[in-house]
Amino acid sequence: MPNESRARRTARPPNFFLIILIVPAIVIPVIIVLMLYEIGNGSIDAMRAFGLSFLFGTEWIPNPPQGGLPVLGALPAIYGSVVTTTLSLILAVPVSLGVALFQAELSPRALRVPSVFLVEMLAAVPSVVYGLWALVVLVPFMRDFINPNLSATLGFLPLFSGPTNGLGMLTAGVILAIMIIPYASSVMREVIAAVPRSQREASLALGATNWETIRTSVLPFARTGIVAAVVLALGRAIGETMAVTMVIGNVARISPSLFLPAYTIPSVIANEFTEVAGNTIYLSALFELGLILFAIAFIMNLLGRVLITRLTLRTRGGAIV
């Protein structure tokens, strides 16, 4: 059997594909560790100079008029990042879920394919294009219509008080919501479409309407994947840089008003990284901001993973209600 012996000689060892899979599984954690090492090493000078006061400081004065050490505090940037990300999720999650339900459950076949294509095309638009569109269209729209109406009706609340020039945390939250809707809705749609058809058929056979079927049979079965989509959108929103930088106003302040300009961690780094020549403390502070952003994203994703795990265990235990 010459052919058989030749095949045995040329056959790859059984662990060949195992090696192919192990290599990227090792490389990715190594890259993360190296990234953390570089960011942490660059943050040492700022940690020594400011200590924990860097996390709670409210002033950002990299070049004091009288000279001396910069006065740098990360709290305004942390506050801006948390507020804009929270706003974007509040606005984007209901819309994303509605889009996903329409595409997976209610859309006519002729409309489903172009609808899915358009949503996925939005995910491919660069963030700087979103930022330019926001400057030309969204900022004037918020300034002339949305912000004045909110101020007139809800101005007694601190959230909707102050000048309405269009640049601020509310506009940044809106553009972030628009940017993360395609990501969240795509994941939600695939999760909802993966719900077994028998779930729907059993509910409809018992006389339930389409909405009752979605509410009692589809959403409970898909809730783990929906939470995963929200976590994915969260990771996208908290690290977004260019579009937010172009519309948030870039002022280091902590204010309850959503109309006022603010700063986020990515926008601080993007705006000021080129201004640190010869100022090692300033550069180190920007590295520490990057480390804080990494930690915030890690903690939020970890909490999301814990929630997904708990929901999965409840689902497997038959606790879907």
Mean pLDDT of the chain: 88
Q: What is the pLDDT of residue 147?
A: 94
Two tokens, residue 54? 């860097």
Structure tokens that stand for 34 in this block: 């190296």
Average pLDDT over residues 13-24: 76
Q: What is the CB neighbour count within 10 angstroms for residue 153?
A: 10
Average pLDDT over residues 166-171: 95
Strand partners, 295: none
Q: Inform me whether the pLDDT recorded for 199 exceeds 90.
A: no
More confident residue, 151 or 109: 151
What's residue 4's pLDDT? 55
What is residue 8's predicted lDDT score, i.e. its pLDDT? 58
Query: Would you say 237 and 176 are in contact if contact means Cβ atoms under 8 Å apart?
Result: yes
Alpha helices in the chain (DSSP H): 2-10, 16-50, 53-56, 75-101, 109-123, 127-133, 139-141, 147-154, 169-193, 197-205, 210-213, 219-238, 242-247, 265-272, 280-316
What separation, in Å, do the N-terminal and C-terminal C-alpha atoms of the chain show?
A: 63
What's the pLDDT at 69?
77
**Residue 3, pLDDT above cutoff 60:** no
- 97 pLDDT band (50/70/90 cuts)? very high
Please give the average per-residue pLDDT across 141-164, as a whole number.
Answer: 93
C-alpha span between 113 and 120 (Å, rounded): 11
Token readout for 241 is 């840089």
pLDDT, average across residues 16-37: 87
Cα distances (Å, whole numbers) of residue 254 to 60, 163, 234, 261:
11, 15, 22, 9
Return the structure tokens found at 20. Answer: 């192919």
Look up residue 53 and give its amino acid: S
- Report the topology of domain 82-276: MetI-like fold (1.10.3720)
How confident is the model at residue 309, as a pLDDT?
83
Q: List pLDDT tens digits, range 260-298.
A: 999 999 999 999 887 765 678 888 999 999 999 999 888
- Tens-digit pLDDT profile for residues 117-129: 999 899 889 999 9
Per residue in 306-316, pLDDT (tens digit) is: 888 887 777 66
Q: What confidence category does residue 10 fall into, taking pLDDT thresholds of 50, 70 and 90? A: low
Q: What value does the mean pLDDT take over residues 188-204?
A: 90
Closest Cα partner for 173 from 93, 74, 254? 93
Q: What is the pTM of this model?
A: 0.88
